[in-house]
Amino acid sequence: MSQGLEEVFVETYYIADAEDEKDPSAQGLKAGMVTYRIWVDMKEGYKLLSVYGAPGHPLRLATSTGFFNDTINGSIKAPDIDPSLLGNNALLLDSYIAISGVNKTGLAVKKEDDKDGSVVKPKVNTDNPTVIERGALMSQNPDAGIPIREADGFMHGSVPALVSFGHGFAAFGNSNDLGEIEFDNGAWAVFKGLKGPFPEKNYLLIAQVTTDGDLSFELNLQIASPRGETEYYLARNPEQGQLTHPDLIFPKPDHLLTN
């Protein structure tokens, strides 16, 4: 049986600093919080159908503390976010589920592949326009790679509707105290599946999370081949006709680590 899943990887998108914490839009954002993006990379021509939990195969996405959420303008589902509200505020760091779309008109790409600039702009001192104020989202922590003031990690595109089934998504809602999404009868999906924005780099964002805790997940994926075959990937204990991949569990169990 062919296997279309190449890897699941985590990108460090942003690391908040003291200026972010004191910004009026912070809503609980703290210095040192890290925004992670979780990506699914598939072979060319494959489509991601769903990220799911099933009886005996629960999905879990968690942190040891809590997830940061923009409780005013944020959303559990990324395509519901209004792009006109992005910029110098914490909405860009909201925690959410996704399949490629990060707002109503933006498709997620890795920062290194983002060539159209950023919605993040430095604030200008109103009394002296030649003076740039530090402001929010200006952190240039080297552990986060390219600063988001240079590349915001999305580009304009057609964003399909994201549907979700079941319960358990409250940790990405109007709270900054919850730290776990877990269910064994639910999913998020795009009707008929979706390929990545670059055919030769067939990767898709499936979630963004911001936290000051330790990130962990166990994911199950449903992928469609170019021939229309459906492949099921289970984090643990795949049954006959199902597949698994070491990247579906994060961090990797000790026995899967290599020197």
DSSP, residue by residue, 93-133: G--EE-SSBSSSSEEE--GGG--S--S---EE-SS-TTPEE
The confidence score (pLDDT) of residue 163 equals 96
Cα–Cα–Cα angle for 220, 226, 230, rounded to 5 degrees: 35
Confidence of residue 239 (pLDDT cuts 50, 70, 90): very high
128 CB contacts (<8 Å, ≥6 apart)? none
The confidence score (pLDDT) of residue 17 equals 95
Confidence of residue 259 (pLDDT cuts 50, 70, 90): very low
The confidence score (pLDDT) of residue 87 equals 80
Structure tokens at 42: 């598939």
The confidence score (pLDDT) of residue 211 equals 98
239 CB contacts (<8 Å, ≥6 apart)? none
Whether 234 has a pLDDT exceeding 60, the answer reads yes
The confidence score (pLDDT) of residue 167 equals 84
Look at 86-95, 194-203, 247-256 and tell me which has the smallest mean pLDDT.
247-256
The confidence score (pLDDT) of residue 256 equals 57
Q: What is the mean pLDDT of residues 30-38?
A: 98
User: What gap in Å lies between CA 127 and CA 135, rounded to an integer?
Assistant: 16
**Between residues 134 and 12, which one has the greater pLDDT?**
12
Whether 251 has a pLDDT exceeding 90, the answer reads yes
The confidence score (pLDDT) of residue 121 equals 81
Look at 32-36, 190-194, 211-215, 254-258 and tell me which has the smallest mean pLDDT.
254-258
Cα–Cα–Cα angle for 79, 14, 201, rounded to 5 degrees: 60
**DSSP per-residue string spanning the chain:** ----EEEEEEEEEEE--HHHHHSTT-TT--TT-EEEEEEEEE-TT-EEEEEEEBTTB-EEEEESS-B---TTT--SBGGGS-GGG-SSSGGGG--EE-SSBSSSSEEE--GGG--S--S---EE-SS-TTPEE--TT----GGG-S-TTT--SEEE-PPPP-EEESS--GGGSS-SS--EEEESSEEEEEEEEE--SBTTB-EEEEEEEEESS-EEEE--EEEE-TTS-EEEE-SS---TT-B--GGGEESPPGGG---
- Percent pLDDT > 90 in the chain is 82
The confidence score (pLDDT) of residue 133 equals 57
The confidence score (pLDDT) of residue 55 equals 96
Q: What is the mean pLDDT of residues 27-40?
A: 96
126 CB contacts (<8 Å, ≥6 apart)? none
pLDDT per residue as tens digits for the range 69-120: 999 999 999 999 999 999 878 999 999 999 999 999 999 999 999 999 999 9
pLDDT, mean over the chain: 92
> Residue 248, class by beta-carbon neighbours within 10 Å (0-12 exposed, 13-18 middle, 19+ buried)?
buried
- Residue ranges covered by each domain of the chain: 5-256
pLDDT per residue as tens digits for the range 121-180: 876 656 655 545 567 899 999 999 999 999 999 999 999 999 999 988 999 999 899 999
**Between residues 126 and 210, which one has the greater pLDDT?**
210
